[in-house]
Structure 1
Amino acid sequence: MSSRDDVEVARELYAGFAARDMAAVGALLHPEVRVEQAGGLPWSGTYTGPTGVQAFLGALLAHVDSRVEIGELFAVGDAVVQVGRTRGTARATGRSFDAAEVHVLRVRGGSIASFEAFVDEAEFARALS
């Protein structure tokens, strides 16, 4: 698959997230998918397999109601990089947040094999506390 196709797979993943269409998201996941959220947030950690992705999304959405706004989405080597913002509200506090973020995705055989998220932890911590 070409890098251009990998970018389209990533776009489909973000469209599924935006629509909260977990069936569409699940259809794009490699059976051995790995999700990593850096930092000390309540949903930080490493999650593996489709059930791990469900656990990650469950933990994330238990704490925040958010949406990703893509600034740039491009291929770099064997990765697809998304640079943008995550905006939303912390559920427990009602505080809004606007966090810079970078996601690094790897696509294998037309499926998302890994997803690494790097976010402005201080902005999330402010909203969560």
Structure 2
Amino acid sequence: MRTAYEVVKAHYDANDRHDLEGMLADIADDCRWTEMDGFPCAGTYVGRQEIFENVFAALGKEFDGYTFTLERLLDAGDDVVALGEYTATHKGTGKRFRARVAHVWGVKDDKIRRFEQFTDTLRVAEAMR
């Protein structure tokens, strides 16, 4: 059995490879994924399909080159905290943004059970106007 840190690191490794299937592979069927209020896809989504449609596909429709760059991954047992930066260009305005971000993950029984995002939503909103 992998540690929570290893499960989350595998998600980010898949992200770096642009491997969407790999990013979704360890998400539990009942995973609660929360995008921050004020973010374009704000809300809580449950399970791989809702997460894919309401987060990954939604961001792909709105932005070009949407990227998360991991700077630090902090091990807190069953919880893992990631610090990094989002960058993207809004398709409608052509404006690019950079925003600091923290992700908080909860892992149990080798599966991602919780995700919560904290980011500078103002930077994203500015790019969309």
Asked if these proteins are the same fold (TM beyond 0.5), I'd say yes
Question: Contact conserved, 2:78 with 2:108, CA < 8 A, in 1?
Answer: no
Identity of aligned residues (%): 29
CA RMSD of aligned residues (A): 1.6
Q: State the one-letter code of the partner of 1:37.
A: E
Question: Contact conserved, 2:106 with 2:115, CA < 8 A, in 1?
Answer: yes
Worse-matched range after superposition: 93-102 or 56-65: 56-65
Worse-matched range after superposition: 118-127 or 12-21: 12-21
Aligned position for 1:15: 13
**What TM-score, normalized by structure 2, do the two folds share?**
0.89
Q: Which runs of no fewer than 5 residues in structure 2 stay unpaired?
A: none
Aligned position for 1:63: 62
**What TM-score, normalized by structure 1, do the two folds share?**
0.89
Question: Contact conserved, 1:16 with 1:24, CA < 8 A, in 2?
Answer: yes
Q: Which runs of no fewer than 5 residues in structure 1 stay unpaired?
A: none
The 1-side partners of 2:63 and 2:73 are apart by 23
Number of residues paired by the alignment? Answer: 127
- Which runs of structure 1 show a deviation greater than 4 angstroms over 4 or more consecutive aligned residues? none
Q: Aligned with 1:97: secondary structure?
A: strand
The 1-side partners of 2:12 and 2:96 are apart by 21
Deviation at 1:18, TM superposition (A): 2.9
Deviation at 1:115, TM superposition (A): 1.1
Worse-matched range after superposition: 76-85 or 103-112: 76-85
Check if 1:50 corresponds to 2:61: no
